[in-house]
Amino acid sequence: MATPVLDKVEAEAAASPYITATFRIRRFNPEISDEATWEDFQVEIDPKERVLDALHKIKWELDGSLTFRRSCAHGICGSDAMRINGKNRLACKTLIKDINPEKPITVEAIKGLTVLKDLVVDMEPFFQAYRDVMPFLVTEGNEPTRERLQSPEDRERFDDTTKCILCAACTSSCPVFWNDGQYFGPAAIVNAHRFIFDSRDEAGEQRLEILNDRDGVWRCRTTFNCTDACPRGIEVTKAIQEVKRALITRRF
């Protein structure tokens, strides 16, 4: 009795997993127009696939001029952050079935950075802010002959912020960054946090001083947009608050 039921389920699933989903993509091509426009694409796709697969299908089968960044396609390189249905996500980690394919799925470039073409933005201001917080180990004295050892507790202190992949989903979801590109942005603060709270590092004071700036952590309005946007689940706002606390307790 069990076998036919199983067969039936399998047969139904095998019949056609495909649905027709509409992808409404924000197109911008400076070689054609200075206006960005929405363009709809109908894609036959398995809803268990990802938005990135749909973009590939569009680029490879429907319109080769569609431009977007992706590298590893598995949620590690951080190249394909985009605004999907109004929320910053990685296209390679967003399943189509999770974002209601009944309605058109909007895909646009992340906000607050210059759009160069379609979904590609100029990441330079983002990486400039990242470089400004000195995201590398700084030590004094002679180099040890062995590894720089660290207790598991000391490692645990900044574990959350080591997960950042620099996709810019958080920074480009931050309203303070939108209206004024001068703010360091959540991603830079997260990467500063990673070294400030590292017991092996000796430049925490310098980094805190950089983030004590007019455009540093004090511009954070605690809107939690960054925490919601982070595809790696980093508690970004908490990290920013910890930097603020370190700045205050350092003074008093």
Partner 1 sequence: MSADTTAATTDDVTLYDVDNPAPVIEPPRQRTKKTPRAPHKKGSNFEMYGWLFMRLSGIVLVVLVLGHLLIQLVLDGGVSKIGFAFVAGRWASPFWQAWDLIMLWLAMLHGGNGLRTIINDYAERDNTRFWLKMLLYTATAFTVLLGTLVIFTFDPNIR
Stretch that binds partner 1, among 52-60, 77-85, 195-203, 243-251 (CB under 8 A): 243-251
Angstrom distance (rounded) from CA 71 to CA 120:
13
Q: Which is nearer to partner 1, 36 or 95 (CB)?
A: 36
Q: Does 223 bind partner 1 (CB under 8 A)?
A: no
Measured from the CB of residue 15, what is the shortest distance to partner 1 in angstroms?
40
Token duo for residue 68: 């977007």
Residues 32-51 that bind partner 1 (CB under 8 A): 32-34
Phi, psi of 160 (to 5 degrees): -60, -40
Q: Does 244 bind partner 1 (CB under 8 A)?
A: yes
Per-residue burial over 136-162, b if 16 or more Cβ lie within 10 Å, else e, is eeeeeeeeeeeeeeeeeeeeebbebbe
Q: Which is nearer to partner 1, 5 or 248 (CB)?
A: 248
Q: Which is nearer to partner 1, 199 or 212 (CB)?
A: 212
Q: Does 116 bind partner 1 (CB under 8 A)?
A: yes
Residues 192-221 that bind partner 1 (CB under 8 A): 209-210, 212-216, 218-219
Q: Which is nearer to partner 1, 51 or 208 (CB)?
A: 208
Measured from the CB of residue 69, what is the shortest distance to partner 1 in angstroms?
16
Q: Does 112 bind partner 1 (CB under 8 A)?
A: yes
Cα–Cα distances in angstroms (integers) from residue 21 to residues 15, 17, 24, 33, 78, in the given order: 18, 12, 10, 27, 25
**Cβ neighbours of residue 239 closer than 8 Å, sequence gap 6 or more:** 160, 161, 189, 190, 193
Q: Which is nearer to partner 1, 30 or 144 (CB)?
A: 30
Measured from the CB of residue 221, what is the shortest distance to partner 1 in angstroms?
8
Q: Which is nearer to partner 1, 92 or 208 (CB)?
A: 208
Helix, strand or coil for residue 127? helix
Angstrom distance (rounded) from CA 29 to CA 36:
7
Helix, strand or coil for residue 120? strand
Helix and strand tally (H, E) in the chain? Answer: 9, 7
Q: Does 241 bind partner 1 (CB under 8 A)?
A: no
Q: Which is nearer to partner 1, 162 or 182 (CB)?
A: 182
| DSSP result, 48-94 | TSBHHHHHHHIIIII-TT-----SSSSSSS---EEEETTEEEEGGG-
The size of the interface with partner 1 (CB under 8 A), counted in residues, is 35
Give me the sheet containing 37-45, strands edge to edge: 37-45, 19-27, 105-108, 81-84, 87-90
Measured from the CB of residue 113, what is the shortest distance to partner 1 in angstroms?
6
Residues 146-185 that bind partner 1 (CB under 8 A): 176, 178-182
Residues that bind partner 1 (CB under 8 A): 30-34, 112-116, 122, 124-125, 128-129, 132, 176, 178-182, 209-210, 212-216, 218-219, 244, 247-248, 251
